[in-house]
Amino acid sequence: MTHSDAEPPPPPARGAGSDASPAGGDPRRWSYVVLVFLTLGAGAMDAVAFLALGGVFTANMTGNLILVALVGGENWQIRVIRSGLACVIFSIGVFVGFKVPDRGRANESWPSAATRLLWICLALHVAFLAGWILCDAAPGPTPTLLLIAVASCAMGLQVAAARRVDVAGITTTFVTGTLAALLQSLASRRTADTARRAVIVLALAAGALCASLVLHLAPLWAGAVPLLFTILAPATVVTRLRPRGPRRSRRPRTGTGG
């Protein structure tokens, strides 16, 4: 048998030679885990902002739009300024987040742009915690505006990162749409993604509960709660969703001519 008559080497196993195969298994499952961590962080951040930064939201812009439109009451002008600032900075964060180019390969299990956005969000959470500690958990008027701006920007970038992933239409900063989809699936007896949506709804409330308890028991560390939840998101991406490097395939042994 000559060299040209030798059987061709078998094709590589699916994903064996591609760096699109994630290191941690099912990419959809781990992408959802990342969204759960981000939702916990959003709930925690909204709790801190609402209870300690003048009754505004930094993740739930629906509530802020209502607050902006509420005229009257004690110090309503200050409330309008704070809520309006949160809306504007959040919107800028979302816009900038969608402008970040995705330089990764098209077949990657996790968009590279989403990873970069998560690292920026994490840096903003660190900045928020630093400002919170410097203010001794009791910020004055100007530091309050700065903290609202930092937190709202982080939440806006987080929305852009989550939308790039798009798991079952889940959002991480507000759950009205997710709750509606959950109830629709229950009413129509379609169980696809029902459990996932239910967990997201509960995660937002759980994050807010954790932050409010810490704010009550140890106010100085309340600003760390959103950071602790959020840091788990890029950590999961790095450990479970990073692409594998290409494997070196062994060269097949061919017969010698005779």
Q: Give CA–CA dist 179/177, Å, rounded.
A: 5
Please enumerate in sequence order all residues whose Cβ is within 8 A of that of 29, keeping only pairs 6 or more positions apart, or say none: none
Q: What string of pLDDT tens digits covers the 258 residues of the chain?
A: 444 444 444 444 433 333 444 555 577 888 889 999 999 999 999 999 999 999 999 998 988 888 888 877 778 889 999 999 999 999 999 999 999 887 765 445 678 889 999 999 999 999 999 999 999 999 999 999 999 999 999 999 999 998 888 676 677 777 777 777 778 778 887 766 788 888 888 999 999 999 999 999 999 999 999 999 999 999 998 888 865 545 444 455 554 444
pLDDT at residue 109 in the model: 65
Residue 24's pLDDT is what? Answer: 54
Take residue 68 and report the two structure tokens written for it.
Answer: 């902006």
pTM above 0.95, yes or no: no
CB 193 within 8 A of CB 84: no
Partnered with residue 243 across adjacent β-strands are 22
Report DSSP letters for 79-141, one per residue: HHHHHHHHHHHHHHHHHHHHHS---S-TT-SS-HHHHHHHHHHHHHHHHHHHHHHHTTT---H
The C-alpha atoms of residue 46 and residue 257 are separated, in whole angstroms, by: 74
pLDDT of residue 112: 86
pLDDT of the residue at 164: 84
Burial of 59 (0-12, 13-18, 19+ CB in 10 A): buried
